[in-house]
Homo-oligomer: A and B are copies of this chain.
Amino acid sequence: MTMDYLKVIPEYTIAFPVANMPQINLGDKIGSLVVDRMSQLSGVMDKDIYVIASKIVSKAEGRYVDLTTIKPSQEAHRIYGIIKKKSPALFQVILNESLSYKVNKFSVLSQHRLGYVLTSAGVDSIDDTTAIVLPQDPDQSAQHIASEVEKESGKKVAVIISDSEGRTDRRGANAVAVGIAGINPVRISSSVDLSGSVKVNEETICDMLAGQAALLMGQRGRNIPVVCIRGYQFDFDYKARATDMIHKDLLGIKMFNNG
């Protein structure tokens, strides 16, 4: 693709795959691997945003569950009776990761223990006997990866850990952020309408960034678990946590009635 046209465009964001990442194993340093792969592209730049699929973070942190060791509860069996597509043991893992949940005929819509609403509580099956769950503390994981990148590259970056997630009304999944480092997940702005009323707008930019990355990550097996987003204007925020975007009226409240 030629890029001469970019010379006349005053503002843009660009997203590209951090290609050729290896398969991730327990203990792998994802930040180091990102810096290594980026050195084959343009190198890390200040204010790069690295969106990282939660799956590889979970793998590096060993967040596997051996399904043969799980004893499904009556409730897990009941859910299996409704949905079938997963095993009772896998449903039990989903319940274990959930603060509250509701069941429909397609899926378990879970309020994950961290507060996020996620289909199946972000639990994936790796094979018939192994599940993988979200990182224990995705914000901390993101901060750890950002620190590695910064230490090895000398550049200041933001990190977003993303998970694929659909909407109940729609076929197919989008992606959402579950962990964050260096960037506030919410953008707040205000404007004045034609009546003179001030309207405050909040936008979940971390989910927009996760979606932009997911467009390139694409399907499993394509081996693109990391995408770099460059050009988005933001101020570093080192206090921000992904849980900051949980609706404040819902924090600590069970959203669903477990049924």
Contact = CB atoms under 8 A, between A and B. Distances in A.
Listed residue (A41, A186, A207, A231) with the most chain B CB atoms within 10 angstroms of its CB: A207
| Chief secondary structure at chain A's binding surface | mixed
Interface in A1-43: 1, 3, 5-17, 19, 40-43
5 nearest interchain CB pairs? Answer: A5-B42, A189-B219, A172-B202, A211-B211, A191-B221
Listed residue (A3, A15, A170) with the most chain B CB atoms within 10 angstroms of its CB: A170
A197 B170 CA distance: 24
Contacts of A116: 169
A127 interface: yes
B16 A15 contact: no
Contacts of A201: 173, 219-220
Interface stretch (A70-78, A142-150, A242-250): A242-250
Given A128-B197, A171-B248, 19 more contacts: A11-B16, A11-B17, A116-B169, A117-B168, A126-B193, A128-B195, A167-B176, A169-B255, A170-B207, A170-B247, A171-B204, A171-B244, A172-B186, A174-B207, A174-B208, A191-B221, A193-B220, A203-B218, A203-B219
9 contacts: A3-B7, A5-B45, A8-B42, A9-B42, A116-B169, A169-B246, A169-B247, A172-B188, A189-B219
Copies of this chain, complex-wide, total: 2
B8 A12 contact: no
Contacts of A231: 1
Given A9-B41, A13-B15, A175 B208 contact: yes
Contact of A215 (B17, B195, B212, B247): B212
B16 A204 contact: no
Given A172-B204, A245-B171, A247-B171, A195 B16 contact: no
Interface string A131-175: 000000000000000000000000000000000101111111111
Contact of A246 (B170, B187, B189): B170
